[in-house]
Structure 1
Amino acid sequence: MPPKNKRVKKDSAGSPSDPVKFQGQDFQKLCQDYINKQIKFIDETFPPEKRSIGTGLLSQSDMAKVVWKRPSELVEDPCLIVDGESRFDFAQGELGNCWFLAAVAAITFQKEIMDRVVPGDQSFGKDYAGMFRFRFWRSGKWVDVVIDDKLPTVDGKLIFLNCKTCNEFWPALLEKEYAKVCGSYKAMQGGYIFNALRDFTGGAYKTYFLSEAPSDLWELMDMAAQTKALMGCGTPQGETSANTVLPNGIVEGHAYAVTGVTKVKTQRKEVKLVRVFNPWGEGEWNGDWSDKSPLWGKVSEEDRKKWLEDKNDGEFWMSMKDFCRNYSELDICCVSSTFLSVPPPAPRSRRVQR
C-alpha cells in the first residue's frame, strides 16, 4: 500500500508501460472483438494490398503473383517465437533494408529490449485473432502498432524477410509492423542503422567515421558492449548501387551489426578484435581472423573454443585495424549517458545502405 496522502505516480502516455496506440488502434479491444465475431482481423489501415508494398519495389509481373497469406496458410504449426529470438533466425529477403535488419540483429542480445519491442502476451494459440502488435519509439514516444498477420508471398514463399525456422514468424511480422509505421515496404528500401536502433530503444546514438577513428575507439566499443549499448556499422558505397561482394567477402554499401569485441593473445602480441554480423545470414570476411584464418592457430585453445565458430552464418571476427579499413562508419546507440560526454565527430554526409 502507498503511504497515505501521497499519490501513486502513473506513467505518462507514450511511456514503455503505456504506449500510444498507433492510429488509435487498441490491440486488446480489437482482439476481443474479433474473437467474439469468430473471424480473423484484417487491418484496413495497412491492408494486404499492393499499396502496402509500395510502387516500384517489385516488377509488374511479380506484383501480379503476390498472394497475401497468414502463417497458418503457410505451415501447419505457426509460432511467433521458437526457442527465443536470435540474430541467426532470419535472412534478408527482396527488400533493401539491411540497415533495419542489422539493428534487429543487435537488439536480439538484449532481452529487455526484445520483450518491449515484441510483447510476449500474444501467440497463434489461445486468443489468436489474426493480429499482432509490436512497439517502437517514434517522435519521442513509445507507440503500440497493430497489424494483421497476412504476409506477401509468391509461389507460397515469403517475399521479404524470412525465417530459417520455417514455422517461426516474429522476424516477418516485425518487418511488416515497421513497414506500416514507415508507410509501406517500399519506404524501408534504403536507410540508416541509427534510425532503427533509436526506434527500438528510444536511446541516444553517436556516429564515428572510421577514416578518422579516435585511437581509443576499440576501448569505447568494449565499454559499449559492457554497458549493453547497441552497435551497427556500414561499408562505403561502390561504383554502382548494387551490393557488390568484394574478393575479401565484404559487401559494398551494406549495413552490418557489431555483435562483440574481444582481445586475444598470440605469441608476439595482443590483438583487438571486432565481431561483425551480415544480415544476409551468410557471406563473410575471409581475411585475417576470419573463421578459417590460420591466425586462430596462434592463440590458446581456450580462446579458440570461446570465440571461434566456423559456420557460414554471416558472423565473423576481424582485427580492429581491418575493421576501420573496410567499414566507413560505426553507430553506437545507448540508453544510458555513458557515451554522451565524449565529443561527437565532425558532421559528414552519409550514404543510404541497402
Structure 2
Amino acid sequence: MVHSLYEDGREGSPSNPVKFKGQDYEQLKEALLNQEGMFEDETFPANLDSLGDIQVLTDEQLSEVEWLRPRELHPDAAFIIDGASRFDFHQGRVGNCWFLASIGALTFHKSLMAHVVPLNQSFKDNYAGIFHFKFWRFGKWVDVVIDDLLPTRDKVPVSVSSRSEKEFWAPLLEKAYAKVCGSYGDMIAGTPPEAFKDFSGGVHTNYKLSKSPPELWDIMSRALECRSLMGCGSFSEDKGKDIFERFGLVHSHAFAVTGVKLVESEGNRVNLVRIWNPWGEKEWNGDWSDTSELWDTVSDEDRDQCLKVRDDGEFWMKVEDFCTYFDEMDICCDSPNFVDGDECQWNCSLKDGRWEEGISAGGCMSDAEEFWTNPQYRLKVKALEEWSEGDKNVLLSLLQKPDEEYRSKVEYHHIGFLIYKVPSEAPKGHLSSSVLQYEEPVLMSDFEPARELIEFHSLAPGEYVIIPCTYDPNKTASFVITIYSKAEAEIE
C-alpha cells in the first residue's frame, strides 16, 4: 500500500523517510552502542508532559507513574514473537480505541506492517533502548525515533499492554504515535481512518451503514482482497443503552473489521462479517456470535474455520445486523478499485498547497474577486476506452495539514473545492475571475470541518481547474491535495 509516486527515492518516500524532529535512528544507535549507553529521548522525555492529560488517572495515581523499560517489566522481553497479531495486545487506560482498532487491521497486511513496524528490532542483539517506526504524515513518510521507557503503575503499563506480558511491539508503536501526536493524552478520541491514513497514505471511503449500498458486502469482500484496512464504529449511547447491554456491544467505540465469509445455513446463503474489539474482550452475543446455535446449521468445514469460542473480543455477525447495530464503516486502500471492482490502474498525483490570509485564502464565494486568489490546479482528463456519463473516474482528497504540534489542540477549518471546465481560449497559468465569470462550476463539494475531505466524481474528458478553499476567507492553513484518475491525467 505504498504509492508508486514515491518510488523515486526522494525525501519523504518509503525508502528515504523524513527524520522526525531531525533524529537519525542509525546514527543515534551506532553512537549508543559505541558508548554502551541506553537511549533517553530528550524530544519526548519520560515525564508527565509526554503522558499528557489521559483523564482517567487522579493526581495521586499520576504521581505513582514510573517509566520502565520492557526488560524491567519482563526478563524475557521480546519485540515480536511468532509474527504480529491483533491478539498480541489489549487496550489500556488511554481512550485510543480508534488507534488500536487500526493496529489490529494493520496486522493483516504483512508488507505494510513491516514498513510501519521495522521487524529487525530486538531487545537482544545490539540493544540500546532505541526503536523506530514509520508513518505517512501529510504527504511524506517520516521515521520516528523513541526510547523504550514506558509509563507504568505497579509495573503494569498505563496504556497498551502485551497479552503475553513479554511482547512489546504494540506498546512501542503506540509510544511512537503518541510522540507524533504530542503526548499520550493527545491520542484520546478519534476514528480509524486517521490512523489508516498515517499507516499507509492510502485513500479512504466512509460508509454510513444506515444508508449503505445494497452491494456493501461485495464491496467489503473486494476491499479485503485488495488488502485494505477496514474499521467501524458503534453508535453513541443516546441510540439506546439497552441495545448495547442486550447484545454485548460497546457504544461510541471503534472496532476493526477483520474478515467476511459466505456460509450456507439451512439452504440459505448468509453473508457474515467478522469484527474485533481492541479491548480484547466484550463481544456481540446475538445471531452468529460465539455461542449462537446457528453455527450448528452450517457445514463442519465452515464451523471449524470460523468458530473459535473464546473471549478475545472477536465475533461474527450477519451483514444485516452489522448495518443495524453499527453506525459507520471505513475502508482505506492504495487504490479505489474496491468500490466498483474495476481492475484499472488508477493514476495518482499529490501536491502541497497553502492558504495565506490576505494573499491566497479567498474563501468559497465564487462570485467574489478574492475567490480567484485561492490555489488552483489544472487537470486534463483523457478519454477511457469504456466510459459513460456517471461512471466515477476521478477521486479528490483534500487533507488539512495543521501547524499545531499537539493533536488535541488542532481546529480544522471547513474545507471543500469547486471544479470548473476551462474554456479552450483560456490562457495558461492562474485563472482570473474574468475568464470564468459566466461559467457555473461543474462541481462544488460539500464543506466540512474535517481533517480530510474525499469525494468521487464523474468528469468527462477535457480540461478542468480545481480550486480548493476554506468556506470562510482569510483562513491560513496548509493542505495536501491528491487526485486519483482512472484515465491518464495531466496535473499542473
1:45 matched to 2:40? The reply is no
Which letter maps to 2:21?
Answer: Q
Supply the distance in 2 between the matched residues of 1:10 and 1:98 (Cα, whole angstroms).
35
5 Å-filtered alignment, 1:319-330, equals 319-330=318-329
Contact 2:134 / 2:144 at 8 angstroms: preserved in 1? Answer: yes
Supply the distance in 2 between the matched residues of 1:300 and 1:73 (Cα, whole angstroms).
48
Once the two structures are TM-superposed, the CA of residue 42 in structure 1 deviates from its matched residue by 0.3
Which letter maps to 1:12?
Answer: R
Cα RMSD for the two superposed structures? 2.1
Question: 1:56/1:79 Cα in 2 relative to 1: closer, same or farther (>3 Å)?
Answer: closer
Supply the distance in 2 between the matched residues of 1:347 and 1:281 (Cα, whole angstroms).
37
- Deviations 1:213-270, CA, capped at 9 Å, x for gaps: 1100111001101111111000011149x9x952201100000000000110012310
Supply the distance in 1 between the matched residues of 2:328 and 2:301 (Cα, whole angstroms).
32
Which letter maps to 1:291?
Answer: D
1:269 matched to 2:268? The reply is yes
5 Å-filtered alignment, 1:29-108, equals 29-55=27-53, 57=55, 58-108=57-107
- Deviations 1:68-104, CA, capped at 9 Å, x for gaps: 0011111112110011100011110001000000000
Identity %, equivalent residues: 49
- Deviations 1:157-189, CA, capped at 9 Å, x for gaps: 111000111111001001100000000000001
Give 1:110's aligned residue: 109
Which letter maps to 1:209?
Answer: K
Once the two structures are TM-superposed, the CA of residue 28 in structure 1 deviates from its matched residue by 0.4
1:142 matched to 2:172? The reply is no
TM-score, normalised to structure 2, is 0.67
Once the two structures are TM-superposed, the CA of residue 346 in structure 1 deviates from its matched residue by 8.2
1:19 matched to 2:17? The reply is yes
Give 1:218's aligned residue: 217
5 Å-filtered alignment, 1:192-271, equals 192-239=191-238, 245-271=244-270
Contact 2:54 / 2:188 at 8 angstroms: preserved in 1? Answer: no
Q: Which has the higher contact order (CA 8 A, sep 6+)?
A: 1
Supply the distance in 2 between the matched residues of 1:266 and 1:349 (Cα, whole angstroms).
45
- Deviations 1:101-120, CA, capped at 9 Å, x for gaps: 00000010111011001112
Q: Which runs of 5+ in 2 are unaligned?
A: 1-6, 341-390, 396-444, 451-492
Supply the distance in 1 between the matched residues of 2:16 and 2:290 (Cα, whole angstroms).
45
Supply the distance in 2 between the matched residues of 1:256 and 1:230 (Cα, whole angstroms).
12
Which letter maps to 2:328?
Answer: E
Once the two structures are TM-superposed, the CA of residue 307 in structure 1 deviates from its matched residue by 1.3
Q: Which has the larger radius of gyration?
A: 2
Once the two structures are TM-superposed, the CA of residue 55 in structure 1 deviates from its matched residue by 3.0
Q: Report SS of the residue matched to 1:62.
A: helix
Give 2:290's aligned residue: 291
Once the two structures are TM-superposed, the CA of residue 340 in structure 1 deviates from its matched residue by 6.1
- Deviations 1:33-68, CA, capped at 9 Å, x for gaps: 111111101000000000001135332011100000
Contact 1:246 / 1:252 at 8 angstroms: preserved in 2? Answer: no
Which letter maps to 1:114?
Answer: M
Give 1:4's aligned residue: none
Supply the distance in 1 between the matched residues of 2:35 and 2:162 (Cα, whole angstroms).
31
Supply the distance in 2 between the matched residues of 1:249 and 1:348 (Cα, whole angstroms).
33
Supply the distance in 2 between the matched residues of 1:245 and 1:91 (Cα, whole angstroms).
21
Question: 1:312/1:348 Cα in 2 relative to 1: closer, same or farther (>3 Å)?
Answer: farther
Figure out how many residues of one structure are paired with residues of the other and give that number. 340
User: Which one is further off, 131-140 or 55-64?
Assistant: 55-64
* Divergent runs of 4+, >3 A: 339-350
Q: Which runs of 5+ in 1 are unaligned?
A: 1-8
Supply the distance in 2 between the matched residues of 1:160 and 1:245 (Cα, whole angstroms).
25
Once the two structures are TM-superposed, the CA of residue 10 in structure 1 deviates from its matched residue by 4.6
Give 2:489's aligned residue: none
